[in-house]
Amino acid sequence: MLPAFTSLRHFATNTMKRAASEFRMTVPWGEVRGQVWGPSEGRPVLCLHGWADNCGTFNTLIPLLPKDWRFVAIDFPGHGLSSHRPDGCFYTFPLYVADVRRVVEALQWKRFSIIGHSMGGNVAGLFSALYPEMVDAVVLLDTYGFLPTQVTDMFKNMRKGINDQIQYDNKTEERKERVYTYEKAKERLKAANPSLSDQSADILLERAVREVEGGFVFTRDFRINLKNIANNNMEQCLHMMSLVKAPVMILLAKEGLFKTFILPDGYVDMILKSWTDQKATIVDVEGDHHIHLNKPEDVSMVTPLPTGMGWYSFDKESTKATVQEKPSFHSIE
């Protein structure tokens, strides 16, 4: 049993089209923050954002999903309003999985669904492999669920990541938070994420910057940019994939992951074949890597969550969930 956490509070906010509450949970190094939608007794769904984003990435999608479900979207440590990891610590996928385990322990969720975008989808895949008994459905938004690294690169990455971390730690006195005007901060965010619409950038900036004297500073921890020292090769990823017992749906944007993150030749085919062998549903949608934030209506139409009875689908106008005996998904042209 993981230790209980002393703070699990919700604070109302009026920034969303659909009422959301602020999520706060104490962890040994500070707190994990996030947002909550829906009734406390609703079907539990955990939402995990991508690298360098924050839980605001789900602000436009969740209002289109069933209102009687309980959505909790977190800011990963080092992102958004969540605390940074302690000095000297690395940011790795196993630690993000541990963060998810802490959150669901505090929520007292024994079984739940996961919606993950980009890096959040890779955390969702790893969590679902390690804790298959806790996950009843997985939706991966423009992500493969696992991110294999060539064996020849694994230890190069480890060496570089360790060296980068030590170099960063040794420059404590040289670090300065750069102050931007809001427009300059927005320009920088959009330059790093060309797929973001103007409105989507504003949404992410609600949690990506904080106001200081003279302007704004980014809230994320610079260390998330350092090389990840914990990698898995293809064989390990395929094995972990086989451990996932929950139904899986993968939405791939036609102008998204394939163009923004290039894997070695043959890797994508191997991953998708393995998911297909496990009866995962794979859907192609028109759009870019942030399609779920930029045009959530295109994603909400094909983002139901499966149960043992069948697949949940819902009417976009009423947002009432119904059950289908078989999935009836198809590519949106």
Which positions ≥6 away from 269 have C-beta within 8 Å? none
* Residues in the chain, overall count: 333
Catalytic-residue membership of 118: yes
In the set 82, 113, 118, 195, the catalytic residue is: 118
Cα(26)–Cα(5) distance, integer angstroms: 6
Within the chain, strands assigned E span 8-13, 20-27, 30-37, 43-48, 69-74, 112-117, 135-141, 209-212, 215-218, 248-255, 281-288, 306-307, 310-314, 321-324
Element (H, E) at 7: none
Yes or no: say if 208 and 188 are a contact pair by the CB < 8 Å rule: no
Rounded to 5°, angle at Cα 261 from 116 and 182: 75
Q: Supply the residues annotated as catalytic.
A: 118
